[in-house]
Amino acid sequence: MKCHLAIGTLVAASSLAIGSPVAAAAENGWELPVLSVPAAQAISRGDGITVAVIDTGIRTEHPALAGRATEGPDFLGATGQNSQPWYGAHGTSMASSVLDVAPGAKVLGLRALRDADDPSFQTWEQSMEHGSLSGQADPIGKAIRYATDHGARVVSLSLGSQVSLGAYSDETMKAVQYALGKGVVVIASGGNDGDGDNHLAYPVGYPGVIGVAATNPDGSRAEFSSVHDYVDVAAPGVGINEAETSTNGRAPVDGTSCSGALTAGVAALILAKYPELAPRQVEQLLQSTASTYGQGHNPLTGYGVINAEAALRGAASLRPESPALAVGKEGAGVHFGPGDDGTPRNINYGMNSEDLAIGGVAGVLGLLFVGVGWLLFRRGRRAQRQWMGNAR
């Protein structure tokens, strides 16, 4: 089942394929070797880094999280829901992938979305407008700011919209920029709409967010992974061995949610070893050491599958820079800000180049249809007047 939490035209796909309960450590998962995580963990284990998992809440007592996770405020304004069986299924799954990659890190769980089985489940638009039943708007943006102000160095967003421009939020975009300016790396899954309408999505579409596609074991794009030019890198997203709440064990999961969470773990490894690096530098490391970097960028998998060990080794030669200089500036770095890589300069609309092209073609066709329709209308009116005259 797909694990990217897509809210809008598609409900949350957080149901997991049930597997046998296993120990807290990842067992027989192909994802960690592909990402060179075992070799990277010989260099860094993520100690001292807090990763904020902004999601549906987490089950801190799950064996995969126990002792390494805390839960912060519920930005939906609910209380006492963590005793419900549906609570935190998706968020717990994502937190386990972060900790599989960075076992020395800490997870801060922040609830800003509802699981699909939540009786009060909301669409993306409802969540953005109302947030909670008490009217708290923009829960994701508020959670990002809270994470930034409470010590998180990485924000993991395994969630996204599938309603294109209707999901854009100026407040959430500003919260992302606030986090980046404070040196916080923001990572979002690319979306599971690649075999559907392939809508433009947020928060992955905001400038400065590291967008992650999902791949198969051979490095090719998973068929469901969305295709856009804001995809920066890719990570495993098929059959990922993640925490499963109903059995307190693990189960295989598909989705770009998994890819984003694994990438957040890699970012934690880098920052634990090199804490002064700016978000833009972390993104550059992930890109420049990815599997197909030398072949240039493509919207399917970005610069390819990330390599945790290579990124860590590459970090040794970087000189830290100010994070405030990297956000929204032309020349700031590939896919980090608008204007230097084909992304649009007007970030207020959040559209990428392919959507602008499609929109332009659609607009031209629309004008043609309107013009033809008007001519036919005028011709019909003339014919009607002529018939009326003959009738008299």
CA distances, 101 to each of 19, 41, 94, 187, 320 (Å): 21, 8, 11, 15, 24
CA gap 112, 104 in Å, rounded: 25
CB 203 within 8 A of CB 260: no
Quote the CA–CA distance of 2 and 4 in Å, as a whole number: 6
One-letter amino acid at 312 equals L
Residue 55 a catalytic site member: yes
Q: Which of 90, 199, 228, 297 is catalytic?
A: 90
Cα–Cα distance measured from residue 77 to residue 150, given in angstroms and rounded to the nearest whole number: 19
CA distance 309 to 266: 9
Phi-psi region of 275 (alpha: psi -120 to 50; beta: other; left: phi over 0): alpha
> Are the beta carbons of 52 and 142 closer than 8 angstroms?
no
> 55, 115, 193, 229: which is the annotated catalytic residue?
55
117 is a catalytic site residue: no
Helices (H) and strands (E) in the chain, counts: 10, 11
Which residue out of 14, 15, 93, 257 is catalytically annotated?
257
Active site residue 228: no
Give the burial string for 315-339 (b: 16+ CB within 10 Å, else e): beebeeeebeebbbbeebbbbbbbb
Q: What is the CA radius of gyration of the chain?
A: 23
Residue type, 46: G
First to last CA, the chain: 71
Residue found under tokens 């421009």: 165
Residues annotated as part of the active site: 55, 90, 257
